[in-house]
Amino acid sequence: MKILITGGAGFIGSTVADHLLENGHRVHILDDLSTGFPENVNPDASFHRLDIRSAEAHSLIRDGGFDAVCHHAAQMDVRRSVREPLFDADVNILGTLNLLEACRLGGVSRVVYASTGGAVYGEPAELPVRESHPINPICHYGISKHTVEHYLFLYRHLYGLDYVVLRYPNVYGPRQNPHGEAGVTAIFTLAYLTGRRPRINGDGAQMRDYVHVRDIAQANRLALDLGNHAASRGIFNIGWGRGRSVLELDRIIRGFVGTDLEPEFGPPLPEEIQQIALDSSRAREVLGWNPSIPFETGLSDLVEFHRARLGG
């Protein structure tokens, strides 16, 4: 297939691009490099430096003859979404609508959309969370990402544009950006490797479902390779189905780094949920997806990746 990956110079998108190329697909990458990095772009992919909100991005998709679009480009920082809700909606909602209109006009067969299981549900009533759980996001990011899910349903209903929504957990692994407010595993790892104390907001008991980025890439490939039967469409949680606390994450990383430093603590953030774990039974049954990389193995690899980058 000829596939366009938006956000393909970012942490997750570039790993998806690598995986699809390894499996014989023709890959194009669209990224404005606002948060992605040129060195993440696979040389076997065709690169287009464009903003998803632009007329040029629209034209590329409309006229590019793509079989599918794998949509990862987004404003993905929860805290920035609270500080700048108009920007968050502009990128995540209007930017995606620009792409969906181009997909409709260009005859794209399927969109695989990177949504968020960590933000759309809000504070869960039960764990692990199934796709049928009520949607009650407590941050602007969760709202903007979920809004696109409704547009995808509409575009299939009106125009026949097929789609798969993957609701991601906390994704971690190599290439995760340790600078900024997202990517807690990378932030903690780099802090300890450079002799700094990372900051935990709240008491550290918050629970998150962590999945390695290579397992996420596999989920994307399976979603793209599905047939057009009804069961293959719609929404899929991607997760282990169990949470790990921030304190546990911190303890494991400190052990792999080999440091006596400890984190500092700050006040909790009202936009952050306290616990989440995603039931991926539907993804297992329909997509044939299962996570394969154990948490401790993935964190060990992540520490060694950053240690090597620092020349250690």
Residue 292, helix vs strand vs coil: coil
Q: 212 pairs with which residues across the strands? A: 172
Contact call for residues 114 and 76 (beta carbons, < 8 A): no
Dist CA 118 CA 304 (whole Å): 27
User: Encoding tokens for residue 293?
Assistant: 């990389």
Instruction: Tell me how far apart the alpha carbons of residues 299 and 46 are, in angstroms, rounded to a whole number.
Output: 31
Active site residue 121: no
Q: Is 151 in contact with 96 (CB distance < 8 Å)?
A: yes
- Pick the catalytic residue from 141, 168, 172, 210: 141
Using an 8 Å Cβ cutoff, are 164 and 282 in contact? no
* DSSP string across 232-283: GSEEEE-S-S--EEHHHHHHHHHHHHT-----EEEPPPTTS-SB--B--HHI
End-to-end Cα spacing for the chain: 40
In 3D, which of 147, 6, 167, 148 has the Cα closest to residue 73? Answer: 6
What the block records as the tokens of 173 is 């692994």
What is the rounded distance in angstroms from the CA atom of residue 183 to the CA atom of residue 283? 24
User: Which residues are part of the catalytic machinery?
Assistant: 141
